[in-house]
Chains A and B, each alone.
Chain A
Amino acid sequence: MIAGPIRQLIKEFQRLPGVGEKTAFRLVMHVLESPQPQAQALADALVEIKQRIRPCSRCFQMTEEEVCAICASPKRDSSVICVVEDQASLMAIERARQFYGIYHVLGGRVSPMEGVGPGDLRIAELLKRIEGEGVKEVVVATNPNVEGEATALYLKRALEPYDVEITRIARGIPMGGDLEYSDALTLGRAFEGRMKY
């Protein structure tokens, strides 16, 4: 017989993505065997993140402030908006330190199989920003897979009536990759997106 609080915590951990019953049980055991301050710190961090973090009112990335540090920074070029599916994509681009514009987090990608249509994404909010923020270029940086490409297509269609340049991040061979081992689809994209050298 498992004690009620243990059962409850297993159930809560199982709600996390990629966590099954066995992993949840291991996590619970880890918490139980941890010193009290460590377990308390975990609990405090969970409460704090829900109380203090919210979406930026402009770009919808997660932040402590009303407007996030990227949107508020005078060093960023606010005439270029990079549209990403989620926070993880934004963080990956920030880690690369190659983009100096601002962002717009869509909150997912179009996925009819999961019941997500264009109306479920923050496309209307993006269009409002384009109307009111003097945007010159929108970089569509959705993932280079079937659903990401379809989302990019929806965005292109929605953005076409606006006086704004629409660009798409390049797709093809990754740095450190090998042509010999690239599949036909990736090579095809690489040739489609070739540029003057």
Chain B
Amino acid sequence: MRTSTTKAFVLRMIPYRDADMVCTLLTRTEGKISAMARGARRSKRRFGGALDYFCLVEAELRPSKSGMASLTSVNLISSYSRITEDVERFTAASHIVEVSRLASKEGDPSPQPFDLLQASLEALQGGGDPKSLVRIFQIKTVAHLGYALAGGHCTGCGGPIGDGETHLSDLSLVCSSCAPRMSKTITQGAVKTLEAAQRIPYSRMSTLSITPTLDQQLGPLVQNALTRALGATPNSLDIF
């Protein structure tokens, strides 16, 4: 069978047998792919240091009749290895990679998860604030999964939302009369931050800073929405 090459990030590596590794890769045009990397754990590894988290690689894959593709070679395009020089950045990047794995689908041609992961790692490597970047990444992921913040109209009754108190349920705005049965009050500043986080282009994510006060309001709501949208709780959610 013919081999194909594609740009990819490693999302997960599971040791298999003595020296092999089952890898989950995120590609730009085919979504998530599982591949067997034979001999990946030997000292003279055929993949060198490139087959690791936080590396953008060109992966050569050979499809298999039995199902799982073989990863035949890996060439390093960019390494975001400076992330591991700081504990908080490493933890943030690990969370971003784990959520990318949970949020992406096999065979999904949408480039968004790949582009968001790449932009987030670039921003972390470039010195952006890890806490803000994680929150923006979470908000964008939730939006990508279909839970975007709907501004202007109440998602409960469809009526307009006034300038007074703002209430939020699953990252959607609700009016004062729907609020009692639908959750939490947040400030206009938090709503604006939420909207800005959704709108900001990937390339400018590190320019948006979320203050600790705003993050206190947004954090639990965003994490709750993320868990619901993913249908699973990421292992790294508590650690971060």
Contact = CB atoms under 8 A, between A and B. Distances in A.
Interface of A: 17-18, 110-115, 117, 144-147, 149-150, 153-154, 157, 174, 176-177, 181-186, 189
Given A185-B76, A186-B48, A189-B49, A18 B16 contact: yes
A177 B236 contact: no
Contacts of B15: 17-18
B79 interface: yes
B236 A115 contact: yes
A112 B84 contact: no
A192 to B, nearest CB: 11
A174 B239 contact: no
Interface residues of B, number: 32
B44 A174 contact: yes
Nearest to A115: B235
Interface string B227-240: 00000000110111
A147 B86 CA distance: 12
B87 interface: yes
Given A176-B44, A185-B76, A186-B49, A111 B87 contact: no
Given A115-B239, A174-B44, A185-B50, A18 B90 contact: no
Interface stretch (B51-59, B153-161, B196-204): B51-59
Most buried by B among A144, A177, A183, A185: A183
A178 B48 CA distance: 11
Contact of A146 (B12, B52, B75, B236): B52
Contact of A112 (B12, B16, B43, B94): B94
Contacts of A144: 49
A112 B240 contact: yes
A113 B236 contact: yes
B91 interface: yes
Given A112-B95, A146-B90, A153-B85, 5 more contacts: A112-B236, A113-B98, A115-B235, A144-B49, A184-B79
A154 B238 CA distance: 18
B76 A114 contact: no
Interface string B165-181: 00000000000000000
Nearest to A120: B239
Contacts of B81: 146, 149, 185
16 contacts: A17-B15, A18-B17, A112-B91, A112-B94, A112-B235, A113-B97, A113-B236, A115-B236, A146-B81, A146-B84, A149-B81, A153-B86, A153-B90, A154-B87, A174-B43, A183-B48
